[in-house]
């Protein structure tokens, strides 16, 4: 089976984990500090906090940004459920704004009409490895005095106009989950330049304990710390990120070249000024044949997958807010048409040729 995702580990990661186990220091040690510094430097931020998951990082970011009961938070309905759930856990109200069909990112032209006196923040999603339109979105956030938090869980290393995603707005969040471009099984990151936000986040992720003062709890908190084993693996992974993202881009380019010869397939686009890191390589096909094509490819040993089969506003706990079918026509349409194909670094040129051949054969048989 050509899997949709596969971690890319070597001896370096094995050695790093063993070093932690032998050291006896399993949390908050030198690997965690070095990893945090390295990410801050890579993304171009002053501060980085390593957490137990991307979801934990989102929750912590929203809490540190002051999202609370009554806060409206503008976000995309075409994302992983964690984006909306983190807003709900802070007692905020997700206010969805439809996406751009070409890039699957929030349509910045539709944001302003959704801003009310209750709006506190915008949570953008750099979906599939591509940056949102930050020139416009940062300007909008500034004009309306809103915090900008980016769910960049899928996009570590992606850029817009030479700036890394995660460096736009007040806060950026990444995930190191097993399927992400670099991974340590589970893991998350929060990055910011704001000293106050960093302080609130560091307290929240460690039981609300004041920094450097044991058993002094000044606020509600949780345990969202990353382990030293995770940090040691992630530190080795981040050393390989340029190579991994380059390989993904090269695989995507080859696949696009081969698929461009087939009619009726919509290929992924890279926006002007963007460096897409292809967490997912996502095509669109006619909704009538989409599921048949996915099954066909799976029978051929290709793990084609659907990200995401349903926009967030149509899940029951979000529908309750008052959303109905038809509210976000672009997100609803693309959720019926998308298919993601394997392009991770362990997918070979021959695999890519095989994937393209199978898709061509499927259309010839129709
Ligand atoms: C992976 C992901 C998350 C959640 O990250 P976890 O590490 O799985 O908790 C949130 N948002 C998006 C867009 C993601 O892709």
- Inform me whether the pLDDT recorded for 275 exceeds 90: yes
Instruction: Report the pLDDT averaged over residues 44-59.
Output: 98
Q: How far is residue 346's CA from residue 363's CA, in Å, rounded to a whole number?
A: 27
| Predicted pLDDT at 261 | 93
Ligand 1: residue of 60, 62, 154 to mutate (most ligand atoms within 8 A of CB) is 154
Cα separation, 98 vs 77, whole angstroms: 7
Counting ligand 1 atoms within 8 A of each CB, the residue from 75, 152, 166, 175 with the most, and so the one to mutate, is: 175
Confidence label for 246 from pLDDT (cuts 50, 70 and 90): very high
261 CA to centre of ligand 1 in angstroms = 34
Query: What is the Å distance from ligand 1's center to 34 Cα?
Result: 23
Mean pLDDT of 289-299: 98
**pLDDT classification of 274: cutoffs 50, 70, 90:** very high
By CB atoms closer than 10 A (0-12, 13-18, 19+), residue 326 is exposed
Residue nearest to atom 14 of ligand 1 (CA): 153
Beta-sheet strands, E only, within the chain: 47-51, 72-75, 93-96, 119-125, 147-151, 159-160, 163-164, 171-175, 188-192, 274-275, 281-284, 338-341
Percentage of the chain modeled with pLDDT above 70: 100
Q: What is the mean pLDDT of residues 305-313?
A: 98
Nearest CA to ligand 1 atom 5: 54
Ligand 1 atom closest to residue 176's alpha carbon, by position in its atom list: 7
84 CA to centre of ligand 1 in angstroms = 11
Tell me what percent of the residues of the chain surpass a pLDDT of 90.
Answer: 99
pLDDT value at residue 213: 95
Say whether pLDDT at 129 is over 90.
Answer: yes
Calculate how far, in angstroms, residue 314's C-alpha sits from the geometric centre of ligand 1: 19
Q: How far is the CA of 40 from the centre of ligand 1 (A)?
A: 19
CA 180, CA 186: separation in Å to the nearest integer? 10
What number does the ligand 1 atom closest to the CA of 56 have? 9
Dihedral sign from CA coordinates of 111, 112, 113, 118: positive
Q: Which atom of ligand 1 is nearest to the CA of 279?
A: 15
pLDDT tens, residue by residue, 1-43: 999 999 999 999 999 999 999 999 999 999 999 999 999 999 9
* pTM for the structure as a whole: 0.98
Probe residue for ligand 1, chosen from 54, 60, 86, 154 as the CB with the greatest number of ligand atoms within 8 Å: 54
Res 286 pLDDT > 90: yes
Number of helices followed by number of strands (H, E) in the chain = 12, 12
Inform me whether the pLDDT recorded for 170 exceeds 90. yes
| Residue 70, Ramachandran bin (φ over 0: left; ψ between -120 and 50: alpha; else beta) | left
Q: Residue 358 pLDDT > 90, yes or no?
A: yes
DSSP codes, 135-157: HHHHHHHHHTT-EEEEE-TT-TT
pLDDT of residue 88: 98
Average pLDDT score over residue span 298-307: 98
Q: What is the pLDDT of residue 72?
A: 98
Residue nearest (by alpha carbon) to ligand 1 atom 7: 54
Q: Please state, rounded to an integer, the average pLDDT across all residues of the chain.
A: 97
Tell me how far the alpha carbon of residue 176 lies from the centroid of ligand 1, in angstroms. 8
Q: Nearest-CA neighbor of 249 among 174, 343, 322, 159?
A: 343
Token pair for 160: 């817009």
**144-161 tens-digit pLDDT:** 999 999 999 999 999 999
The count of other CB atoms within 10 Å of the CB of residue 102 is 13
Residues contacting ligand 1 via CB (< 6 Å): 53-55, 79-80, 82-83, 125, 151, 153-154, 175, 177, 188
pLDDT score recorded for residue 118: 98
How many Å lie between the centroid of ligand 1 and the Cα of residue 80? 6
In this model, does residue 366 exceed pLDDT 90? no
**C-alpha 118 to ligand 1 mean position (Å):** 26
Distance 203 CA to ligand 1 centre (A): 22
**pLDDT given at position 119:** 98
């Amino acid at each position: 089976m050509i899997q949709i995702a596969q971690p890319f580990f070597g001896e370096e990661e094995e050695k790093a984990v063993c070093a932690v186990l032998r050291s006896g220091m399993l949390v908050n040690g030198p690997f965690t500090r070095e990893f945090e510094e390295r990410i801050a430097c890579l993304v171009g931020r002053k501060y980085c906090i390593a957490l137990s998951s991307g979801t934990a990082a989102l929750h912590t970011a929203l809490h540190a940004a002051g999202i609370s009961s009554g806060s409206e938070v503008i976000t995309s309905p075409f994302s992983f459920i964690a984006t909306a759930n983190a807003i709900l856990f802070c007692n905020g109200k997700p206010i969805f704004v439809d996406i751009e069909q070409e890039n699957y990112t929030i349509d910045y032209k539709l944001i302003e009409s959704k801003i009310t006196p209750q709006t506190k923040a915008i949570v953008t999603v750099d979906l599939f490895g591509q940056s949102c339109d930050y020139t416009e979105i940062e300007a909008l956030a500034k004009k309306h005095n809103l915090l900008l938090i980016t769910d960049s869980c899928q996009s570590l290393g992606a850029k817009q106009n030479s700036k890394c995603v995660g460096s736009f707005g007040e806060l950026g969040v990444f995930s190191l989950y097993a399927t992400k471009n670099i991974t340590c099984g589970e893991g998350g990151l929060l990055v910011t330049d704001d000293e106050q936000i960093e302080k609130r986040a560091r307290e929240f992720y460690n039981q609300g304990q004041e920094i450097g003062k044991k058993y002094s709890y000044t606020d509600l908190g949780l345990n969202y710390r990353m382990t030293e084993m995770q940090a040691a693996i992630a530190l080795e992974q981040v050393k390989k990120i340029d190579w991994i993202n380059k390989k993904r881009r090269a695989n995507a380019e080859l696949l696009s070249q081969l698929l461009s010869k087939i009619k009726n397939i919509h290929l992924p686009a890279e926006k002007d000024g963007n460096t897409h890191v292809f967490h997912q390589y996502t095509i669109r096909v006619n909704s009538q044949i989409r599921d048949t094509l996915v099954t066909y490819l799976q029978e051929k040993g290709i793990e084609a997958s659907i990200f995401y089969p349903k926009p967030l506003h149509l899940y029951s706990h979000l529908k309750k807010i008052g959303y109905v079918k038809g509210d976000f026509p672009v997100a609803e349409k693309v959720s019926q048409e998308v298919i993601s194909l394997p392009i991770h670094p362990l997918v070979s040129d021959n695999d890519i040729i095989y994937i393209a051949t199978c898709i061509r054969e499927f259309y010839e048989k129709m």
